[in-house]
């Protein structure tokens, strides 16, 4: 444990400027086609001399940048049905800190400051079709199905949404919705907005879209993010194939033509075990070719967003006291319950991945982490508990609609009628999340390179900065040196990389700094997964405690710091928790023969959940069925340990 004032001046300046002191591997060459993922990544490159023509803010020590890579606008069929009329340009304006109007009839604006990067990722399936169908001069407007799609009443909105989803799943929507000319106009609008608002050195935009595969309603969605302005003439959609393998093969084909992209799966929690299944969609077992194809195209996973957190489930991690965080247990877009959690959560996928590497020689689930919002309000970064405005336009635009407030005229929850299924689903949604990267500058090339090497982290909304390194021979005083992170790069591997174990336990450097607009930090943890006697296991270690508290080595836990929340005002305890947590840790159960992964999880003190904030502002009690508080958090990408043959 330590506080920010203990940092040397050079480190403090780096933090205030927006990034911690760091240095590392050189950027990938522009538009270079990545090679198939090797069994083990090379060690991080040593510091490299500065080159010419860097952007303002460039740092050889790498800055932390925050963004949102999952954003829908009126070009998505569901967002338009939800009464959203905001454009891709509006989304970028919102990310830059400007106000836009919400479908609920009020203005919204980020409270925590502009984002550093954003991608608009509208559904590729029927992109722009419903927007055009609403135009009375369009032939689409005359189709019978269209007549009931544009109500402003929540119940009718949900009926219209269900009509579209049912038609999509059964292939019965009008063929006119798939007119290539309509998709081309929308795709052009996406590209033009990204080009207009890309401001190298200040704000980065990425051209992207969502591939929306959902066989039998089981979520296999991916966001496809392009490195630069060179993109295909049209997105590859789930209407062509709902098997992600075919998406990845298409991406390989694009790459061969100089179009570089990566895919990011999301909401594995709604896949009912399908996202990280151990067999392919055609029923064949996963093999090396599949693993290499997937990892070549899918280096990251979205671990948290509005529709729940996919890190782990309490039934999968019964010894993790913090596993029950913003859990959603239904299908995406319906009330059907998820029954299979194995294959649907990231930590178990990492465990299955190292077990596969141990027994078969390849790892199909070697992901880095990000979060994003999945906003359908064209409002990237809208993950603030205190200013939550819902996700799906008019449908959850008020506390009453999303179930955090009792119906009008009712002052007690005892008198409230049972929530309808729609509200019950909205209640489980959370105000999450943001993607973090460590990059030399705010540019497409630098941020994309960070995503490729998996030097990324995820947060549930706050802009918590997280560093994580593993290596050997760190200087004894590394935590107090002005070049501490530079030394970490020189002697270790950053998050997202591989380390070959030695006889002695490696050192893990953990460093987290709070978001000044959010809560104080309570503890830093390392989550470990390993293979022992052919079985994958996991354990959570507290490694840094706030408030000068001492770690109990017998339990690997920090004592409670006693932080609480005044539930009458939602004012958190201002005198508990730390601005910064940092430590160098060694695994007390280290075995150099065991294949393993490690990642950092940082927890804030408790704070009011968005539903409690809704109730406080309304002067009514919080919904007793909902958690009154949460512990915001951040996750680093893992580091993998590959034993010598």
> Span 406-423, mean pLDDT?
81
| pLDDT value of residue 19 | 39
Would you place residue 417 in the very low, low, confident or very high pLDDT band (cuts 50, 70, 90)?
confident
| pLDDT value of residue 420 | 75
| pLDDT value of residue 141 | 96
Would you place residue 199 in the very low, low, confident or very high pLDDT band (cuts 50, 70, 90)?
very high
The rounded percent of the chain whose pLDDT value lies above 90 is 85
Q: Look at residue 616 and give its three-state secondary structure.
A: helix
Nearest to 295 by CA among 219, 344, 244: 244
Residues 138-155 pLDDT 10s: 999 999 999 989 999 999
Planar angle of CA 10, 12, 16, nearest 5 degrees: 120
Q: Which residues contact 619 (CB under 8 A, 6 or more apart)?
A: none
Q: Do the beta carbons of residue 233 and residue 185 sit within 8 Å?
A: no
| pLDDT value of residue 39 | 35
The structure's pTM equals: 0.92
- 177-188 burial, b for 16+ CB within 10 Å, e for fewer? bebeebbeebbe
Beta-bridged to residue 64, according to DSSP, are 438
- 362-396 burial, b for 16+ CB within 10 Å, e for fewer? bbbbbbbbbbbbbbbbbbbbbbbbbebbbbbbbbb
Residues 263-294 pLDDT 10s: 999 999 999 999 999 999 999 999 999 999 99
Nearest to 124 by CA among 178, 161, 80: 178
Q: Which residue has the tokens 């040593």?
A: 46
Beta-bridged to residue 509, according to DSSP, are 469, 584
Residues 439-471 pLDDT 10s: 999 999 999 999 999 999 999 999 999 999 999
Per DSSP, the chain holds a count of helices (H) and strands (E) of 13, 26
Q: Give the DSSP H or E segment for 526.
A: strand 521-532
Residues 536-554 pLDDT 10s: 999 999 999 999 999 999 9
Bridge pairing between strands 465-471 and 492-494: antiparallel
> Span 595-619, mean pLDDT?
97
> Span 570-599, mean pLDDT?
96
Residues 310-320 pLDDT 10s: 999 999 999 99
| pLDDT value of residue 10 | 31
Mean pLDDT score of the chain = 91
| pLDDT value of residue 51 | 56
Q: Angle formed by the axes of helices 88-95 and 180-197, to 10°?
A: 20
Q: Give the DSSP H or E segment for 541.
A: strand 535-545
pLDDT of 36 strictly over 70 = no
Beta-bridged to residue 67, according to DSSP, are 117, 435
Tell me how far apart the alpha carbons of residues 164 and 158 are, in angstroms, rounded to a whole number: 10
Q: Torsion over CA of 486, 490, 491 and 495, rounded to 10 degrees?
A: 70
> Span 80-101, mean pLDDT?
98
Structure tokens at 1: 């444990």
pLDDT of 3 strictly over 90 = no
Residues 615-630 pLDDT 10s: 999 999 999 999 999 9
Residues 200-247 pLDDT 10s: 999 999 999 999 999 999 999 999 999 999 999 999 999 999 999 999
| pLDDT value of residue 418 | 80
Nearest to 511 by CA among 466, 471, 543, 455: 466
pLDDT of 44 strictly over 50 = no
Beta-bridged to residue 222, according to DSSP, are 211, 265
Tell me how far apart the alpha carbons of residues 540 and 543 are, in angstroms, rounded to a whole number: 9
- 213-233 burial, b for 16+ CB within 10 Å, e for fewer? bbeeebbbbbbbbbbbeebbe
pLDDT of 42 strictly over 50 = no
Three-state secondary structure readout of 140-194: HHHCHHHHHCCCCCHHHHHHHHHHHHHHHHHCCCCHHHHCHHHHHHHHHHHHHHH
| pLDDT value of residue 4 | 33
| pLDDT value of residue 501 | 81
Nearest to 205 by CA among 8, 85, 71, 382: 71
């Amino acid at each position: 444990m330590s506080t920010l004032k203990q940092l040397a001046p050079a480190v403090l300046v780096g933090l205030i400027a927006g990034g911690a002191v760091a240095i590392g591997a050189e950027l990938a060459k522009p538009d270079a086609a990545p090679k198939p993922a090797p069994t083990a990544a090379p060690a991080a490159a040593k510091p490299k001399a500065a080159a010419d023509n860097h952007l303002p803010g460039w740092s050889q020590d790498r800055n932390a940048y925050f963004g949102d890579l999952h954003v829908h606008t009126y070009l998505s069929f569901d967002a338009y049905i939800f009464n959203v009329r905001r454009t891709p340009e509006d989304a970028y304006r919102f990310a830059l800190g400007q106000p836009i109007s919400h479908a609920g009839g009020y203005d919204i604006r980020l409270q925590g400051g502009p984002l550093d990067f954003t991608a608009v990722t509208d559904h590729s399936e029927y992109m722009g079709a419903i927007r055009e169908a609403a135009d009375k001069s369009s032939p689409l407007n005359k189709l019978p199905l269209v007549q009931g799609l544009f109500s402003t009443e929540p119940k009718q909105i949900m009926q219209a949404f269900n009509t579209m989803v049912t038609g999509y799943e059964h292939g019965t929507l009008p063929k006119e919705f798939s007119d290539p000319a309509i998709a081309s106009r929308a795709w052009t609008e996406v590209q033009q907005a990204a080009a207009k608002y890309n401001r190298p050195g200040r704000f980065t935009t990425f051209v992207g879209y969502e591939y929306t595969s959902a066989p039998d309603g089981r979520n296999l969605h991916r966001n496809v993010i392009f490195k630069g302005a060179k993109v295909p003439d049209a997105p590859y959609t789930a209407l062509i194939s709902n098997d992600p393998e075919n998406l990845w093969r298409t991406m390989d084909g694009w790459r061969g033509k100089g179009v570089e992209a990566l895919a990011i799966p999301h909401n594995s929690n709604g896949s009912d075990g399908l996202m990280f299944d151990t067999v392919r969609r055609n029923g064949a077992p996963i093999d090396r070719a599949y693993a290499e194809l997937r990892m070549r195209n899918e280096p990251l996973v979205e671990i948290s967003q509005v529709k729940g957190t996919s890190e782990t489930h309490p039934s999968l991690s019964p010894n993790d006291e913090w596993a029950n965080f913003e859990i959603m247990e239904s299908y995406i877009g319906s009330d059907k319950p998820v029954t299979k959690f194995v294959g649907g959560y990231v930590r178990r996928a990492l465990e299955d991945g190292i077990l596969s590497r141990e027994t078969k020689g390849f790892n199909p689930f070697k992901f880095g982490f990000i979060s994003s919002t999945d906003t359908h309000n064209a409002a990237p970064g809208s993950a603030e508990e205190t200013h939550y405005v819902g996700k799906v336009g008019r449908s959850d635009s008020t506390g009453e609609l999303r179930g955090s407030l009792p119906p009008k005229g009712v002052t007690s929850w005892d008198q409230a009628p049972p929530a309808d299924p729609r509200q019950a689903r909205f209640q489980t949604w959370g105000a999450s999340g943001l993607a973090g990267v460590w990059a030399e500058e705010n540019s497409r090339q630098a941020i994309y390179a960070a995503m490729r090497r998996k030097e990324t982290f995820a947060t549930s909304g706050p802009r918590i900065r997280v560093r994580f390194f593993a290596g050997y021979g760190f200087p004894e005083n590394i935590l107090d040196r002005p070049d501490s992170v530079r030394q970490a790069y020189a002697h270790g591997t950053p998050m997202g990389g591989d380390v070959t174990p030695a006889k002695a336990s490696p050192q893990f450097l953990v460093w987290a700094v709070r978001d000044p607009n959010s809560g104080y930090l309570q503890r830093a943890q390392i989550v470990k997964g390993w293979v022992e006697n052919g079985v994958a296991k996991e354990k959570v270690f507290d490694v840094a405690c706030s408030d000068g508290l001492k770690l109990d080595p017998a339990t690997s836990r920090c004592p409670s710091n006693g932080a609480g929340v005044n539930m009458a005002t939602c004012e958190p305890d201002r005198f508990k928790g730390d601005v910064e947590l940092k430590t160098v840790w060694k695994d007390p159960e280290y075995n150099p023969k065991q294949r393993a992964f490690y990642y950092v999880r940082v927890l804030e003190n408790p704070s009011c959940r968005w539903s409690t904030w809704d109730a406080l502002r309304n002067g009514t009690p919080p919904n007793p069925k909902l958690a009154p508080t949460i512990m915001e958090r951040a996750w680093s990408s893992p580091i993998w340990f590959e034993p010598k043959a």
